[in-house]
Amino acid sequence: MVNMVKQPTVVAALLIAMLAAGCQPANKPAENTPAKDAPAATRAGATAPGSAQTPAANTQTGTAAANRYGALQFVPCTLSSGSAAGNIEAQCASLRVPENPAAPTGRRIDLKIAWLESDAGAGNKPDPVFFIAGGPGQSATEAAAIAAAALREVRKNRDIFLVDQRGTGGSHPMRCETADGKPLQAGMASSPEELKAYAQQCAEGLQRHTDPRYYTTAEAIGDLDAVRAALGAPRIDLIGVSYGTRVAQHYAKRYPAQTRAIVLDGVAPSDLVISGEFARTFEDALILQSEQCRAIAACRARFPTDVRTQLRTVMDRLKTESPEVEYRDLRTNAIKRDRVTADAVIGLAFTFSYAPQSAALLPLVLDEAAAGRYAPLMALSHMDMQINQPMQWSVVCAEDADRYRPAPAHQALLLGEDVPRSVFAACPVWPSGKRAADFTAPLRSQVPALLLSGQLDPVTPPRYADTVLKGLPNGRHLVAPGQGHSVMALGCIPKLMAQFIETTNAGALDTRCVADLNNVPAFTSFNGWEP
């Protein structure tokens, strides 16, 4: 949550950086062969049941036909992301909604909607699936490659819709610009004071065309229901990831009759303050990862120093010295020089911990850093996680900032209170919306629910899902052993999600296959790990 890491992207980037820094001359660019993803099938001329009141219309656009689903006209589109491997062929449409729901005649904004048609044909089932991305601030359509892979089994029988949350992707994205329309630049390691000043400038630039007060979870769930109605779908199934689980729970609370089933992956309770417990949850994940290393003889021998101790040692050294490091910028492949800082190291360690594949590299990378070799750390510390920062501020400043209370016990932990201080730095100057009085009330519902957690999740640990499950008598919680943040694409979980969406009976699922998921052993060298 806050930066929902795209696991395949991060792991690929980690490996590229490690190979570039450890196995190639610094003056030779690393070869970069992008992974290819099989295009999703798009069927021209298909008509959804929801369009009974509006006959199917096939209008030619180039060589591909456009389709109507309910009241929406879709045209072929390619969904891509600068950070995700591969493109996805889909159908795209837009829906115009009021920026301020209480002022329907005021400014209107367009929502971007992408349709991944069911393998069984458009509208094979009357209840499509809506995928809700994380962040807050992530675009659902820019996460299409990941969503399509995770929902491949669900898609066999159901249409999948990706709706960019307002303020992200193609839904009236919020951009920080100067008065003359030029992008504002913020430093990678901005202090809270610098972030506050940057946010002030951003808010002033936005006011010409955007009111940040209306880009919160409340407006987002209203948008989802407007899309549902436009599609002509009586009910929908919701699959939310990380912050998307907050959105899904609030939708189910406000629109119970329109919610058929929910899947929550990386669950955030309604009363959770985004980033408020990161210091504790990250430390707990590191402890579990260290215990796994201690249980493997080769790992224990290769890394006699506990990963938490090693991380603190590196950070303490960098608080007194900041060496200049030559590294490869993964965004441009250019060779750069910059100073490595303690903030960069702890930030990257936090990012590493999201996925077991990258967490497995952490002991080795820290060992490199302890020996003065910082290039892999610096290369990865500048990765773009594709989070819309101003939209994130609109959410957290309205929904979380005033509920945040610093915990004295966190000061002694590796992350301390630095993350929430940065997350909420903009809030004193950011135009904030209003939060409903019952915003933090837990979801109590009969809705069928499948909750998913990774055992080693550093931001939404399994205990969060256990809390949410108490209000869902028709729910079930699955914990993926050895896994991190967001597990819906792993092992047999895609099939279990599809079975659940078909039957809405989480209790009847045969989940024994989840135990087959294993932790990834720590890399003991650049060549991998030793058994």
Peptide bond into 136 cis (omega under 30): yes
127-131, 250-254, 416-420, 510-514: lowest mean pLDDT where?
A: 416-420
Q: In the prediction, which pLDDT does 4 show? A: 42
Q: Which residue has the tokens 């869902």?
A: 472
Q: How far apart are CA 157 and CA 120, in angstroms?
A: 5
pLDDT tens, position by position, 41-57 = 333 333 343 333 333 33
pLDDT tier, 519 (very low <50, low <70, confident <90, very high otherwise): confident
123 and 69 Cβ atoms separated by less than 8 Å: yes
CATH number of 38-84+87-274+436-516: 3.40.50.1820
Q: In the prediction, which pLDDT does 66 show? A: 62
Q: Does residue 373 have a pLDDT over 80?
A: yes
Backbone φ and ψ of 94, nearest 5°: -135, 155
Partnered with residue 75 across adjacent β-strands are 92
Of residues 147 and 25, more confidently modeled: 147
Of residues 266 and 320, more confidently modeled: 266
For the residues 217-241, what does the mean pLDDT come to? 98
Q: In the prediction, which pLDDT does 397 show? A: 98
For the residues 426-442, what does the mean pLDDT come to? 96
Q: How far apart are CA 116 and CA 530, in angstroms?
A: 41
Q: In the prediction, which pLDDT does 520 show? A: 86
What mean pLDDT value characterizes the chain? 85
453 and 460 Cβ atoms separated by less than 8 Å: yes
pLDDT tens, position by position, 386-405 = 789 999 999 999 999 999 99
Q: Where are the domains of the chain?
A: 38-84+87-274+436-516
Q: How far apart are CA 137 and CA 1, in angstroms?
A: 10
Q: How far apart are CA 478 and CA 158, in angstroms?
A: 23
pLDDT tier, 27 (very low <50, low <70, confident <90, very high otherwise): very low
Q: How far apart are CA 72 and CA 353, in angstroms?
A: 41
Amino acid identity, residue 214?
Y
Amino acid identity, residue 18?
M
Q: In the prediction, which pLDDT does 381 show? A: 66
Kindly report the length of the chain.
531
Q: Does residue 141 have a pLDDT over 50?
A: yes
What's the token pair of residue 361? Answer: 């590299």
Q: Does residue 9 have a pLDDT over 60?
A: no
Q: Does residue 98 have a pLDDT over 80?
A: yes
